[in-house]
Structure 1
Amino acid sequence: MKADWLRETALVLGVEQNNTSHAEKLVSSLGGLIGIAVVYFLSLEHESALSSALIVASMGASAVLVFAVPHGALSQPWPVLGGHLISAIIGVSCFKLFDNILVASSAAVGLAILSMYYMRCLHPPGGATALLAVIGGPSINSMEFAFVINPILSNISILLLTAIAFNSLFRWRRYPAHGITTSQRIAAHKRATPEHNLTQEDFTAALQQLDSFIDVSAEDLSDIFERALRHTENHDTTIAPASIATGACYSNGKLGFHWSIRQITQLSGNLIEYEVVSGQNKGETAHCTREQFVIWARYRVKRQEKQWVREFQLLSSEEVQPC
């Protein structure tokens, strides 16, 4: 089916499944506008127009992170500050050590990535700063290590201060991400009443086992898990065999590989025919009794903004929309 092909293609290409509200998108955009405007204005006060334009281009990528992904691990103050400073030092050093620009620029970016990893300040725009220190031209190269202090340090400091001030204006944003108060943390954990065996250390161990940098912290994962527990507790549903409707979609509520969505294609007395429309065994068709189906099914779902969500208010069979 065309829709399935398009969804699979989007997943292969890594097209972002973004459910961010329009307000959040606009806030992020406004933050980037203000942040770069302040950095650019102050840069023009101290540098030539050419070098300022180059520096602001390097800061633009950081602005995307601190204003659009303020809770992300790559966006926090130390990655932003340390990533740019370390990369700038490496970039200047490589330019001075290697006569060949190709070797110098390649070494600068590669060593910057390695250093940021070990210094725990991985910040993608740092690679651009390292490269800029090598290929920025005479106006940049002539600064040598002064380039690290002014304009890099000064510009990063301005951007960070602007991000902290701007993000603090919106109660749902935390920058730095650890900026949530102790009282808020206690209140959040009190709301998470369900008992479970998973711990903060389990999330940390899981991230380590992936052996790949993930732009989320163990703290964020545990917060997501607690919110998911509250969500399932507040909206627990039981499916009655008689409520099963043709065209409706149901989830088994499992996680990862074992998760799947079934759509009812035909009802004939107590017999159900269904198709697996998402998850494990997608495309498979089968049949069973109503009683067997409700043992498998945990709740009814529907598509909302390209995501599967619970359908708490069950529709009548006439109101069911295709999945």
Structure 2
Amino acid sequence: MRTGRGSLLGDFLDTTNHWDKLIALMGGMIGLYLSLEVAASVTDNGINGLILASLGATAVLLFAAPHAALSQPWNVLGGHGVAAIVGILIRDLLPHPLLAAAVAVGLAIWLMHYLRCLHPPGGATALYAVVGGDSVTALGPWFLLHPVLTSVGVMLMVAVIINYPFPWRRYPASLTPSPESPEQSPLAALERAGLGREDLEHAMREMNLYLDLTEDDLARVYLLARRHHQHPDPITPEAIQPGACFSNGGTDADWAVRRVLRRDGAQVIYRHLAGPEAPGEDRATLDDFLAWAHHRLEPEYGPDE
């Protein structure tokens, strides 16, 4: 039975749709295959432990959770790079291979935390640098460049290409279409709701957990949950039509009303009828407008000129 913290086996929510899962399938196959070809070229026997462990785990993150903090380019490149360096150094310092492997993985985790590049597959890279056998030992420090960074670099490029056609999952997360103005960002909306970036950071430190979400994602989760709690009937894209009026559900000075003027592709052009930005016209992406809109109002503000 599912509880508030998941079942005993960790049955937490997966809210991705079937389309996202299909993209993850195709991206994982293409990205991993090309990376395997690159990594396998470094040894005479082709497939090796690095390929089976590190690259497979990285593929899961890049294509199943492209917006996760652990999946971003610095985490991927930095995590694998730091782990490879640590593995090479510890392998030469400690003669006992099993002890060296354990120390290398532990140090890699520690350094990835402080360098803000935590990437779980890096643990397998550090491990393989120590116990990968003669073919890895013969590479010496070149192990860092090839196969580690070359194969990972190929997968990063595939992740950018595969995810780019889908705005809601573009990789890296910084390529996600941004609001037309800073005032429309999730963090700005959060501040209008009475919370701020410092409040998010304080909550995260109080929990003392590594949350695999960006601050914008955390703000959006809070705002969407709050909107659903106050007005559980969702506003559909079909409802965003010329003449329709919507409110953000704010209180006092944060209360705002917009009237849709027209749709231009994925953009919504609207007029501010009430709120801090009224009067005036503006535009936003359909997704951002839906995230802002709390409920629909009957048009009581007169026809548009």
Amino acid at match of 1:209: E
Amino acid at match of 1:133: A
Tell me by how many angstroms 1:122 deviates.
0.5
Amino acid at match of 1:50: N
Tell me by how many angstroms 1:92 deviates.
0.8
Matched, 1:60 2:56: yes
Deviations 1:2-24 (A, max 9, x none): xxxx3359612212322321111
**For structure 1, which segment, 19-28 or 105-114, has the greater mean C-alpha deviation from structure 2 after superposition?**
19-28
CA contact (8 A) 2:2 2:11 kept: no
Secondary structure of the residue aligned to 1:7 is coil
Amino acid at match of 1:203: L
**Residue ranges of structure 2 left out of the alignment (5+ in a row):** 235-305
Aligned-partner Cα distance in 1 for 2:114–2:188: 37
Q: Which has the larger radius of gyration?
A: 1
Aligned to 1:117: 113
For the aligned residue pairs, the C-alpha RMSD in angstroms reads: 2.6
Aligned to 1:32: 28
Matched, 1:92 2:88: yes
Tell me by how many angstroms 1:218 deviates.
2.0
CA contact (8 A) 1:32 1:67 kept: yes
Tell me by how many angstroms 1:156 deviates.
1.1
- Which of 63, 67, 70 is the matching residue for 1:71? 67
CA contact (8 A) 1:194 1:229 kept: no
| Pair 1:230–1:194, CA change in 2 (3 A) | farther
Aligned to 1:163: 159
- Which of 184, 204, 207 is the matching residue for 1:207? 204
Amino acid at match of 1:54: G
Deviations 1:172-216 (A, max 9, x none): 213111222443565555995995211122112111221221111
Tell me by how many angstroms 1:51 deviates.
5.0
- 1:100-139 mapped onto 2 (5 Å cutoff): 100-139=96-135
Deviations 1:42-77 (A, max 9, x none): 334x32353543332221101100100111111110
CA contact (8 A) 1:112 1:130 kept: yes
Aligned-partner Cα distance in 1 for 2:43–2:119: 26
Secondary structure of the residue aligned to 1:112 is helix
- Which of 196, 218, 229 is the matching residue for 2:193? 196
Amino acid at match of 1:213: Y
Aligned-partner Cα distance in 1 for 2:148–2:191: 48
CA contact (8 A) 1:194 1:230 kept: no
CA contact (8 A) 2:31 2:159 kept: yes
After TM superposition, the score normalised by the length of structure 2 is 0.69
Tell me by how many angstroms 1:171 deviates.
2.1
Aligned to 2:142: 146
Amino acid at match of 2:83: S
Tell me by how many angstroms 1:25 deviates.
1.1
Aligned-partner Cα distance in 2 for 1:236–1:23: 24
**For structure 1, which segment, 220-229 or 154-163, has the greater mean C-alpha deviation from structure 2 after superposition?**
220-229
Tell me by how many angstroms 1:166 deviates.
0.9
Aligned-partner Cα distance in 1 for 2:186–2:90: 49
Deviations 1:27-53 (A, max 9, x none): 111110010111122334x32353543
CA contact (8 A) 1:79 1:121 kept: yes
Aligned-partner Cα distance in 2 for 1:7–1:181: 35
Aligned to 1:15: 11
**Residue ranges of structure 1 left out of the alignment (5+ in a row):** 1-5, 238-323
Secondary structure of the residue aligned to 1:50 is coil
Aligned-partner Cα distance in 2 for 1:191–1:218: 11
| Pair 1:232–1:69, CA change in 2 (3 A) | same
Aligned-partner Cα distance in 2 for 1:234–1:194: 20
CA contact (8 A) 1:39 1:158 kept: yes
Aligned to 1:223: 220
Aligned-partner Cα distance in 1 for 2:91–2:109: 17
| Pair 1:217–1:188, CA change in 2 (3 A) | closer
| Pair 1:50–1:209, CA change in 2 (3 A) | farther
| Pair 1:190–1:93, CA change in 2 (3 A) | closer
Tell me by how many angstroms 1:227 deviates.
2.3
The list of structure 1 runs, each at least 4 consecutive aligned residues, that deviate by more than 6 angstroms after superposition, is none
Aligned-partner Cα distance in 2 for 1:233–1:83: 41
